[in-house]
Amino acid sequence: MAFKGSQTEQNLKDAFAGESQANRRYLYFAAKADVEGYNDVAAVFRSTAEGETGHAHGHLEYLEQSGDPATG
C-alpha cells in the first residue's frame, strides 16, 4: 500500500497541524503569564510547548516519506 495519498498520511498531517497549534498556544500562554508576573507558570507552559514541538517533529519524520507535508 502506498503511503502518499493514504489516510495515514492525512492523519499525520492533521496531527502535525494540531501539535504545531498547541505549541504556539502554550507559548502564547507563557507570554501572558510572564506579563502577569507568573514566571513559574510561564516556565511550565514553555516546557509543555517544547514537548509539543517534539511531537510535531516526530510526525514530520514520518511524513518525510512522502515529501514536504505542505507541498506534497
Domain ranges, ordered by start, for the chain: 8-65
Phi first, then psi: give them for residue 14, nearest 5 degrees. Answer: -65, -40
pLDDT single digits (tens) 17-68: 999 999 999 999 999 999 999 999 999 999 999 999 999 999 999 888 787 6
- Nearest CA among 24, 29, 14 for reference residue 52: 24
Q: How far is CA 69 from CA 17, 19, 20, 53, in A?
A: 10, 14, 13, 16
Which pLDDT value is given to residue 42? 99
Q: Which CATH superfamily is domain 8-65 in?
A: Ferritin, core subunit, four-helix bundle (1.20.1260.10)
- 0.85 exceeded by pTM: no
pLDDT single digits (tens) 4-15: 889 999 999 999
Q: Is 4 helix (H, G, I), strand (E, B) or coil?
A: coil
Asked whether residue 72 carries a pLDDT value surpassing 60, the answer given is no
